[in-house]
Structure 1
């Protein structure tokens, strides 16, 4: 007696199997859509996050034949697609960050600050610092800080060399520290008041 077919174990297997059975791709959506949505919501607000998430998975589905099957996780690939889409909405993100800095409230999406880390949403200077970063530096910093990607995953997501990730992250952290007037010689206790990714 044979049981149900074994379900694919990793993302590469899901994608490969979806070439023959497209409905299998829904498993990839189930695994990663909540994280992609959360990341997009933090960047652009809840309304835009719905669109970004849907479009990310539509693009992923349409381009799944080009996925590098030697990589077991599609996470960096999906975040890369989402980052590109967010980049197209860059002006909205910058307006939202500047509004947050000016008023302490997000004018792009009501109660966005409730869904952000309290330490980030509460600091208007941080919003100004994030808005002032170049798009490339902001993508790297927020993929590390909000999507919790490692350096190699960020490199894969954005299609840039690992050294570029390191230099952009270093530059972004330095600019954020400067904007927040953080002295690098602060003690660890003093640094606890600030987001850990500025260290």
Structure 2
């Protein structure tokens, strides 16, 4: 799943969401989905779920975005909200899958579906560390590393100067590194590389 590169002439998230909520402009909503599809899928997948659950979580996230558009229309960037929402949707779907598996097992029915996957490569720990960050730190990291925006582009999206955006990014990376080190069990360099 790939995101479309950000074009400087593309409207910002607040404009697109406003057009969707006011005018039901499907093209505007489609642009948002295209822009953030990969970010949402990766956020859902990071909790160790399979692609089917990640896809379902991504769909649920965008459905929720469509429903809550009016309350989110003042945000310049939706990256942070979409990231957290996708993780919540993924977690809920994974819990439901586990409950269904246990119920079937308890009643003696043979479950032929795939086993519940686990990741031992640090992705779930990175997802938890990202979720624990302050919203501003999470937002700047998502803009830089998920949307692959340059520091100048991040400054434009967030309304900061280029210097302020760079400082915020540096501090956010350091906070994430410290959070991963405190949590233990995950090499901070490996997690940040992921």
Which TM bucket (shorter chain)? 0.5 to 0.7
Distance in 1, matches of 2:175 and 2:80, equals 19
C-alpha contact 1:83 1:139 (8 A) present in aligned 2? no
Q: Which residue of 1 aligns with 2:39?
A: 35
Q: What do the CA deviations read for 1:113-147 (whole angstroms, capped 9, x no partner)? A: xxxxxxxx6xx4x55xx77x6xxx85234798xxx
TM-score (norm 2): 0.52
Structure 2 CA distance for partners of 1:32 and 1:60, relative to 1, 3 Å: same
| Unaligned ranges ≥5, structure 2 | 1-8, 99-113, 143-173
Q: 1:155 offset after TM fit, Å? A: 10
- Bigger RCO of structures 1 and 2 (CA < 8 A, at least 6 apart): 2
CA RMSD of aligned residues (A): 4.4
Q: How does 1:39-188 map to 2 (within 5 A)?
A: 39-43=43-47, 44-69=49-74, 71-89=75-93, 91=95, 107-108=115-116, 124=120, 126=121, 138-141=127-130, 151-153=137-139, 170-176=178-184, 179=185
C-alpha contact 1:56 1:81 (8 A) present in aligned 2? yes
Structure 2 CA distance for partners of 1:93 and 1:151, relative to 1, 3 Å: farther
Q: 1:37 offset after TM fit, Å? A: 1.1
Q: 1:31 offset after TM fit, Å? A: 0.8
Q: Which runs of 4+ in 1 moved over 4 A?
A: 89-94, 166-169
Structure 2 CA distance for partners of 1:46 and 1:142, relative to 1, 3 Å: farther
TM-score (norm 1): 0.51
Q: Number of residues paired by the alignment? A: 138
C-alpha contact 1:56 1:78 (8 A) present in aligned 2? yes
| Unaligned ranges ≥5, structure 1 | 1-6, 95-105, 113-120, 157-165, 183-190
